[in-house]
Every structure is written in structure tokens, then in C-alpha cells.
Amino acid sequence: GGSAMAAVRDVEIDPEGTFKYILVRLQRPGGAEQRHIVRGTKAAEFHNHIFEKLNPEMEELGYECKCLGGGKIDHNSKDKKIRVFGLSTGYGKADHSVTVELLKKVYTDYEITWSDDKK
């Protein structure tokens, strides 16, 4: 059912700072149901560190994960601003516009922008 998928949060990012993020597609094996999630943390030195932690967790819930790319997130909680930019060397650039739509669902009162800038 949809309950397990609903239990997976759309967005899990650090509350403050600039850090790497990835955009991931979750899918039931052989199923049509799919969704996108955003994960980002300062704890990850490389984008694949985020994916390598996420993937087994999602497999346990019965999902296949595909990383659709990455970038960076600059999260300024004081000014309620999030900036999405950059890319992942390994995974390529995520579609930041998709990431922004997901962020807007969670950070409803934030100003959220994206660009293809590297910094």
C-alpha cells in the first residue's frame, strides 16, 4: 500500500549551512508508483555517501532508488532562505526545479531559489 511510501519524508536536509544534496527517485520494483525525495547533509563529504546511506534503508522498505543527480543546498534558517545550486561530479546535475518544488512543500514560508551557478 501507499503507507510505507508515505512514511518516507519528501525532504531531509540539515537545518543550517551549505551542504551537498541528491535528488532520488523511489519506485516499487515493476510498479508504476514513484516519487522523488531530496536528501542533503554536511556529514557527507561526497554525494555518493548520501546515496549509500539512503539506498539500503529504502531497499528495506521495498523501493528501488535511482539517484537523478545532485548539487548543493545553502540553508539559511534565520532569513528563511534556501538556495539550490551546483552539481554532483559523480551523478551529474539534479533538476533543481524539481528539488525546489519538493522543498516548497516542506518549507512553506521560505524564499527558495535555484541556479546553475557552481558557487
Q: What is the 3-state secondary structure (H, E, C) of the chain?
A: CCHHHHHCCCEEECCCEEEEEEEEEEECCCCCCEEEEEEEECCCCCHHHHHHHHHHHHHHCCCEEEEEEEEEEEEECCCCEEEEECCECCCEECCHHHHHHHHHHHCCCCEEEECCCCC
When pLDDT is averaged across residues 18-30 and rounded to a whole number, the result is 95
Count: domains in the chain: 1
CATH number at residue 61: 3.50.20.20
**Residue 1 falls within a domain, yes or no?**
no
Consult the annotation and say whether 20 binds a ligand: yes
CB 87 within 8 A of CB 69: yes
Q: Answer yes or no: is pLDDT of 2 > 60.
A: no
When pLDDT is averaged across residues 13-29 and rounded to a whole number, the result is 96
Please tell me the predicted confidence (pLDDT) of residue 29.
87
Residue span of the structural domain in which 89 resides: 11-115
Q: Answer yes or no: is pLDDT of 6 > 80.
A: no
33 pLDDT band, cuts 50/70/90, is confident
Please give the positions annotated as active site: 47
